[in-house]
Amino acid sequence: MDSRSDIENSPDIESNFNTSSRRSISSILSKASHGNSIRESGLGHSGSKPVRDGSRGADSEAFSISQKEIDEEDARLVYVNDPVKTNERFEYTGNSIQTGKYSVFTFLPKNLFEQFHRVAYIYFLVIAVLNQLPQLAVFGRGASILPLAFVLLVTAIKDAYEDYRRHKSDRIENNRLAWVLVNEQFQLKKWKEILVGDIVKVHANETLPCDMVLLSTSDPTGVAYVQTINLDGESNLKTRYAKQETLLKVPEKDRISGLIKCEKPNRNIYGFQANMDIDGKRLSLGPSNIVLRGCELKNTSWALGVVVYAGRETKAMLNSSGAPSKRSWLETRMNSEIIKLSIFLIALCAIVSVLAAIWLKQQEDELDYMPFYRKLDFSKGDGKGDDYNYYGWGMEIVFTFLMSVIVFQIMIPISLYISMELVRAGQAYFMIQDTDMFDEASHSRFQCRALNINEDLGQIKYIFSDKTGTLTENKMEFQCASIWGVDYSGGKAISQKEQVGYCVNVDGKVLSPKMKVEVDSDLLQLARSGYDTEEGRHIHNFFLVLAACNTIVPLFIDTSDPNVKLIDYQGESPDEQALAYAAAAYGFMLIERTSGHIVIDVQGERQRFNVLGLHEFDSDRKRMSVILGCPDNTVVLLVKGADTTMFSVINKTLNMNIVQATEEHIHAYSSLGLRTLVVGARELSVSEFEQWQSSFEAASTALIGRAALLRKVASNVENNLCLLGASGIEDKLQKGVPEAIESLRTAGIKVWVLTGDKQETAISIGYSSKLLTSEMKQIIINSNSKESCKKRLDESLVTVSGLSQETGGSSGAGVRLVALIIDGTSLVYILDSELEEQLFELSRNCSVVLCCRVAPLQKAGIVALVKRRSPDMTLAIGDGANDVSMIQMADVGVGISGQEGRQAVMASDFAMGQFRFLVPLLFVHGHWNYQRMGYMILYNFYRNAVFVLILFWYVLYTCYSLTTAINEWSSVLYSVIYTSLPTIVVAILDKDLSRRTLLKYPQLYGAGLRQECYNSKLFWLIMMDTLWQSVAVFFIPLLAYWKSNINIWSIGDLWTLAIVILVNIHLALDVIRWSWITHAAIWGSIVATFICVVVIDAIPSLPYYWAIFHVAGAVEFWLCLLLIIITALVPRFLVKVLCQYYNPSDVQIAREFEKSGIHRESEAGQIEMNPIDNHPQRQ
């Protein structure tokens, strides 16, 4: 920072300016703009909110609240240094934050209310309540409520622990200390005690406790540097400014008072509108004058600010919402299976009720003396009994039905829900720990932000991807330039080693750019020639715009040599940084920026320009401009922006050959995949500048309609420009992107790229990323009307149909050779119209879709189009705020933690560092998660159904009295302890195929697309197998102990043990990869069941005391167990062997190759896969 101060305090700095060179540029610009009047524009003109002093425009589409005009009623009044008066009329929120969901008093009711959103929980609650009625009591009252209570308790403990951690974090945050002005002295106060209206002092490297309007800083010009990495993930420093009118005030000596009238709290971290009345003046405040909670003060000793938003009303807290809540396809589909099971349950209950009604009619005359159905109570001994334990034939049927529901209740597996949560948590842990998805560049791990859709990763059919920062690195490098119609892209490049000598000497200090840029030798020579030639003058003006027209902040970094410092250009845009480094490489080095001026070293001569105004780059105007005051009293307007908007404001009376040549060069650059920007400038006359200045000041201080007025000011000044040239910047592909896209397409996944870049740039990136191939037939739709869109869509559908017929029709070979390329203008006429159906039919037959020049909301519209008209799963991946709507719209949203902040990550379900990590995420973890979860759900249905059917068979042999041989504690523990752990362990650890195989053969991902692991056919096959197994379990002991004197509790223990052993061995037969944990879980559950049965039967107070010991001592007991296992599992085993032998799936074939140890490419490459496209429709 010393060098900056030396430059600024140099007494002869004005004499160092090259005034002759500036007069030359002024004369050139004056020729370009001579005789051209300002073009007026209405408020509807595409523009942005212009701001001065390097602030960022509030143009984010995701946060549009602050774009609304502020009226008097909507304004917040903040009295500076008077928190009492500020909160007198409206008691604003204090600075205490609370991210916890519950309090001690609200936890129980609120948590239970949230948990009972699951309909199954309400079902089990009703069952438990019914069991409390004496007429319906089947199990003990405590035992009946235990399963639901256990599930609710486990979930409540998990939620309580998570909330405790949030409360703990809140306490730490609220008790941090800050310096607050109290009675004209700064005192330490806790953050939670700070109020709106307080003046707070923040020191270097401290975190800001609330949103504050800057009053003064340690820098004499009022500049403060803040790092917003905690807010939006961007590590670059941002400049914020205090107003000159408040800079010199010393709070300890001068009484600071004033009134700030600002907008109400909103989520827009890039927008702020306010006025400040102080010392009789009204000052306008914008985004550059506010610093936000969570930011850190950097490179500034201290800063003073007045609190305008505190606590939960700060922009950071308003943006701290979690990932959107989504439900997986499997969980949604599971509801239909639960409905089927419910119907089956009702059918069983109805059968029991009907049979009971028939039996009651047949035994009507004998009911008086039956132990369970006697009408009369003879206990009084008078021979006349009262009605007892009988409620009439009709009510008995109703009670029988309700009692059947209670007995058969576990047909709906309540433990499945908590098992799924635990399995997803385990799967998430292994995804997070996967080193193949660890990004070395950013040192970031994979993030699993939504635990409830892990299995959806194995069923993705459509991927919608952003380009910049997602497929590319978003690290820009200057490659070439077109200046005054001359292309400088084919010259000899100078290596970085030859450029090391380029530097600037300032008071004995050597300043050198941190980043080196490959320069064109011819262009460098011309840039150094200055104004000796006409070509040199144009080059001089071009690079002067690149160095000055930005919001770059130059920071100085110490090196090992104390006399050498590196200049690090900090900016909010990678494009701006690349252009600033390029200008420095060609001799135009920005070395200082303050709130009022910039200093540029031009070929060794320091020149100072006063920054009179700045219109920031935004997504609407797609250009930015800066108004500079030169030492010769001339005022110039420098503009750079996208070609689509720049050529509309170029002076058409100029040499059109220059314009035409520049357009051709831009097209060539775009074809190479380069990002292009057009550069222009003009001189402002005295009257033009005065008109702009008065309009800008009036618009800046307006409280009502400020945004519209500022847009009009920007529209009026940015026109009639002299075209200086264009730049080409390369955004390199991320590592592994071509291979990743090729693998995704091989797996049958359709990749769509949605980008705001030019069509030529997008196509070039498509080829380099292997998204497009030379064999593909390209269908391009660039239409400017609805009629032309319809015509082009009809023609394209005919073309695709013809290609399909030529290549075999249904084989699908033809459709894979078609790529659709469409621009945003065409989508304006297609989306939300009757043409959507045609676009979808066309895109469905294309393997690649490339959308260019699309707006953020159009990205979401395209995803919504596919979701509405296709049952297939969608995934959206992006890295910027403009991708948020697309990420939230897709079934699965993935955020890239890249160069554009954390908005995409915060809105996503999963986050990672590189696009290529999609391959292991989908092919490995997605496949495993889908296969495991699908199996676990079906296994839980089977496990509970076989238990219910045994109870059903027993009811048929006990006069439909709904008594049970299996004791109530075993019934409760069956789903909770006996059989729950093995399926959870297997669903977390089992792997049907190795990582190597899944990555080597992308076609294996088709198992999820074809729904091989979970479908209606599998469900009904498992139910048939369940029926057979229940028959084996029930009737083998029944026949073995027929007419014996064994009691019901003893045979009930036999059935309990048989079921547990059977379902665990059933599970063991399906385990592919064993580990000691799997062995412990499966065999340990069987041992635990034996122990529990023995312990329960050893309690004297229970009716089934010593039941297991009565039966287990005989050899028949153990023979029955063995015969049950063999009889129940042999048919299933035989069917499984036959199916795998005669009709194996891709996964089974690949598994056999793994078992055989065949890994040579020549042999393994011969695996023939099933067609991926022929997958069943989702229901």
Contacting residues for 229 by C-beta, under 8 A, at least 6 apart: 235, 296
Instruction: Specify the pTM.
Output: 0.74
Query: pLDDT by residue (tens digit) across 152-169?
Result: 888 888 888 878 887 888
Hey, is 815 helix, strand or coil? Answer: helix
CA nearest neighbour of 1055 among 1079, 1075, 1038? 1038
> In the numeric block, which tokens belong to residue 816?
């894979």
* Dihedral (Cα; 138, 140, 145, 147), 10-degree rounding: -90
CA 545 to chain centroid? 37
Residue 1020 has pLDDT above 90, yes or no: yes
Q: Which amino acid is at 1063?
A: V
d(Cα 566, Cα 542) in Å, to the nearest integer? 24
The per-residue pLDDT of the chain, averaged, comes to 81
Whether the Cβ atoms of residue 770 and residue 738 lie closer than 8 Å to each other: yes
Confidence of residue 380 (pLDDT cuts 50, 70, 90): low
Higher pLDDT among residues 62 and 92, named by residue: 92
Give the per-residue pLDDT at 723. 93
d(Cα 767, Cα 746) in Å, to the nearest integer? 16
Higher pLDDT among residues 228 and 894, named by residue: 894
- Weakest mean pLDDT among 134-148, 343-357, 410-424: 134-148
CA nearest neighbour of 1032 among 1131, 1113, 1134? 1131
Query: pLDDT by residue (tens digit) across 3-19?
Result: 333 333 333 323 333 33
d(Cα 666, Cα 650) in Å, to the nearest integer? 15
> In the numeric block, which tokens belong to residue 840?
């979808």
Give the per-residue pLDDT at 71. 57
Give the per-residue pLDDT at 1163. 45
Tell me how far apart the 2 most distant CA atoms of the chain are, in Å.
Answer: 134
End-to-end CA distance of the chain: 65
Number of H helices, E strands in the chain: 41, 39
Contacting residues for 682 by C-beta, under 8 A, at least 6 apart: 29, 32, 33, 636, 637, 651, 720, 721, 722
Query: pLDDT by residue (tens digit) across 402-443?
Result: 888 888 888 888 778 888 888 999 999 999 999 999 988 778
d(Cα 512, Cα 504) in Å, to the nearest integer? 6
Active site positions, annotated: 466
Question: If you average pLDDT over residues 536-562, what whole number do you get?
Answer: 88
Question: If you average pLDDT over residues 28-41, what whole number do you get?
Answer: 33
d(Cα 8, Cα 974) in Å, to the nearest integer? 80
Q: Which amino acid is at 792?
A: R
Q: Which single residue is written with the structure tokens 């009930």?
A: 1052
Hey, is 391 helix, strand or coil? Answer: coil
Confidence of residue 815 (pLDDT cuts 50, 70, 90): very low
d(Cα 530, Cα 488) in Å, to the nearest integer? 17
Higher pLDDT among residues 54 and 631, named by residue: 631
Report the run of H or E that residue 216 belongs to, with start and end: strand 211-217
Secondary structure of the chain: what % helix, strand, coil (to 5)? 50, 20, 30
Whether the Cβ atoms of residue 96 and residue 271 lie closer than 8 Å to each other: no
